[in-house]
């Protein structure tokens, strides 16, 4: 029976990040969250918004002439938010990239996301900065690229 690895990969990524000792001050969300969160650092695994309408983008490809295995290649969309209440955008940006470095290190340490996939690694990265009523916010939008077989 065929089944996508996507649900297990997302759960594995959330677990890898939540267990990382360097992310204890960072809330890790599994998917988009309802409003009302009031922390200063967060990672969303399976991120979507008005511009990023898909939590996961990818393809399923038959390998060779056989019906099985099927190769899955997809990107899990994620986001990091860091709020600096002192309106120090430099500090917010530096911390956001420090969090991204921890994510990259966690992926290097467990490229299989707990055995869910063959390989996962950081993909495209984009930075957004803004000043809000609460302070400076640095947001990093990034993908986790997955290559695996079902």
Is 78 domain-assigned? yes
Looking at residue 134, the DSSP 8-state letter turns out to be T
Domain count, the chain: 1
Q: Residue 1 pLDDT more than 90?
A: no
Q: What 3-state DSSP class applies to 106?
A: helix
Greater pLDDT, 15 or 53: 15
Is 109 domain-assigned? yes
Q: What CATH code is carried by the domain that includes residue 138? A: 3.30.2000
Question: Span 17-39, mean pLDDT?
Answer: 89
Is 1 domain-assigned? no
Greater pLDDT, 54 or 102: 102
Greater pLDDT, 72 or 65: 72
Range of the structural domain that residue 54 is part of? 6-149
Between β-strands 70-84 and 41-45, what pairing exists: parallel, antiparallel or unpaired?
A: antiparallel
Model pTM score: 0.92
């Amino acid at each position: 029976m065929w089944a996508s690895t996507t649900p297990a990969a997302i759960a594995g990524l959330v677990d890898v990040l939540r267990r990382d000792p360097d992310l204890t001050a960072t809330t890790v969300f599994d998917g988009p969250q309802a409003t009302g969160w009031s922390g200063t650092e967060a990672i969303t695994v399976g991120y979507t918004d008005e511009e990023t309408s898909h939590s996961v983008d990818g393809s399923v490809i038959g390998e060779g002439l056989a019906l099985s295995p099927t190769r899955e290649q997809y990107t899990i969309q994620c986001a990091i938010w860091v709020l600096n209440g002192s309106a120090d955008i430099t500090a917010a940006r530096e911390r956001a990239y420090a969090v991204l470095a921890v994510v990259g290190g966690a992926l290097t340490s467990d490229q299989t996301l707990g055995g869910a996939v063959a390989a996962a690694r950081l993909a495209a990265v984009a930075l957004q900065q803004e000043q809000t009523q609460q302070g400076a916010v640095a947001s990093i939008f990034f993908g986790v690229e997955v290559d695996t077989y079902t």
